[in-house]
Structure 1
């Protein structure tokens, strides 16, 4: 037996991990996302000041050794507010995307697995949702529900149900007619077992990539809605609301808006780079 014959083929998970960690942009995206996650988890230990406490004596100060990113109109430390703001942005994005994945992924999986009238009904509903831009649909829902953390989460989740349904349907369609699924069907496996044990585990790649990209969109959506006053209400340190608070002072004190704007940019960039690298790593057609 030759040495070449004894070489074991790489498992899909190992191949994907090797491709991912050979991608500089993917590693950079992972580092950026981890930095934001660490900031959110350890905000009480990283923030030097209370993010909502007014300090009129310190108002409108520029970046310094005492206040790294300066202070706002009410003397609140901007670095502390940006750090605590990561909690709100990540919480809204993770909860909304998880809810959208649960509802949209389930509907898409059922549509792709059963086809016929089930597929027609679900896809027509998603067509109606996709006819509205996500941000406008979220604004309409918030106009009906009112602002606040949980209503904001629900509005963003509803806006992203349709894209998840489409992605899940396409992923299931590529898997449902494979030989191992047909073999399990011939052995008498139930539909639920086929979906949970055979179809969905082999359709997770595109769904996982969609999750990372939708997290970036959700953070942008949360910031935009907070900027309009429809998100988490003051004095909570929401990034979008912080940008809105600094808008009247862009010419004289631009750091009030620049600090949360940079936080949004870094977070969204991290998730986008991570999603692009995952897409390449989970695509077996690349053959790397």
Structure 2
């Protein structure tokens, strides 16, 4: 009796992408750095040994030690605790701003890519106007008008990064709407909304996911830069950029005041970049081959 060879069922694209990401050393390092920062932010009350905003003039400008791992600042506040709590502000601002940018840019990009002619022309001209300004300068202009604060900072970064999402979503939708399954759905009478939300966008999600990961790194840098300029969350909130600015007068004598938050920014941005590169390699079939 002849036994037929067993045929493996094809893996779903999501599972295949996860396996490819887990096989990439760079992506694993990036994922570990991102998870470390997220866990540090979520469990900040358990990780931080001191109150991040409590003044203690007796311990001001102490160097790194077992009691204060990263030293203390001008007001005697523990820098390690402030870095840990600063992760909450940085990740919250970047995540909410990128989600807002994705929502606004995704809607405009999908409309531009699916409904051509005047809609596409109008959306792309507005996008060109936004892209004419560097993102950080556009955010500074908005904050000069709105004022500082957590939510104004989040909104400014979201508006500054909306235009790149418009272009990425539009290009993905244009590519997906020419596929055979879209033409087949159109032939059987599927409505435009069903085509867009059930067929086009789900199959155009790979480059959007990669763009979200990479833009999170840009948003963290933008939040740090704006906080450094005094346009972010007002003191005594432990924002990483503000902490670097506070330590700038003491770089020659007490550099640890700025080194701790600077290393935190570098590691989390590196993590998002490595993770984004791994996702791009896993989700792009041309790079995968």
Task: Please list, as runs of the form range in 1=range in 2, the aligned pairs for 1:122-133 lying within 5 A after superposition.
Answer: 122-133=123-134
Question: In 1, are the aligned partners of 2:109 and 2:166 still within 8 Å (CA)?
Answer: yes
Cα deviation 1:54-104 (Å, max 9, x = unaligned)? 000000000000000100000000000000000000000001000000000
* 1:88-127 pair list within 5 angstroms: 88-127=89-128
Distance 2:46 2:178 in 1: 52
The offset of 1:17, in angstroms, is: 1.4
Task: Give the corresponding residue for 1:278.
Answer: 279
Cα distance between partner residues in 1 of 2:246 and 2:259? 11
> Which residue of structure 2 lines up, in the alignment, with residue 240 of structure 1?
241
Change in CA separation of 1:156 and 1:241 when aligned onto 2, cut-off 3 Å: same
Shift of 1:287: 4.3
Q: Which residue of 1 aligns with 2:161?
A: 160
Deviation of 1:11 after TM superposition, in Å, equals: 2.2
Corresponding residue SS for 1:71: coil
**1:124-156 alpha-carbon deviations (Å, 9 max, x no partner):** 000000000000000000000011111000000
Shift of the alpha carbon at 1:177? 1.3
* Gapped regions of structure 1 (runs ≥ 5): none
Q: CA RMSD in A?
A: 1.0
SS in 2 for 1:54: coil
> Which residue number corresponds to residue 217 of structure 2?
216
Structure 2 distance, partners of 1:181, 1:207, is: 19
143-152 vs 9-18, greater mean Cα deviation: 9-18
Q: How many residue pairs end up in the alignment?
A: 287
Mapped to 1, the partners of 2:215 and 2:13 lie a distance apart of: 24
Q: Which digits, 9 at most, give the CA deviation of each residue in 1:215-268, with x for residues without a partner? A: 000000000000000000100000000000000000000000000000000010
In structure 2, the residue matched to 1:38 is: 39
Q: Measure, in 2, the Cα distance between the counterparts of 1:78 and 1:232.
A: 17
- Give CA-to-partner distance per residue, 1:8-53, whole Å, 9 cap, x none: 3332122211211110000000000000000110001111100000
Distance 1:48 1:275 in 2: 33
Alignment partner, residue 57 of structure 1: 58
Residue 204 of structure 2 corresponds to residue 199 of structure 1? no
2-side partners of 1:128 and 1:31: how far apart?
Answer: 38
Scaled by the length of structure 1, the TM-score of the pair is: 0.98
Q: Distance in 2 between matches of 1:16 and 1:206?
A: 13
TM-score normalised per structure 2: 0.97
The range that moved more, 225-234 or 16-25, is 16-25
For the residue of structure 2 that corresponds to 1:6, the secondary structure is: coil
Q: Unaligned stretches of 5+ in structure 2? A: none
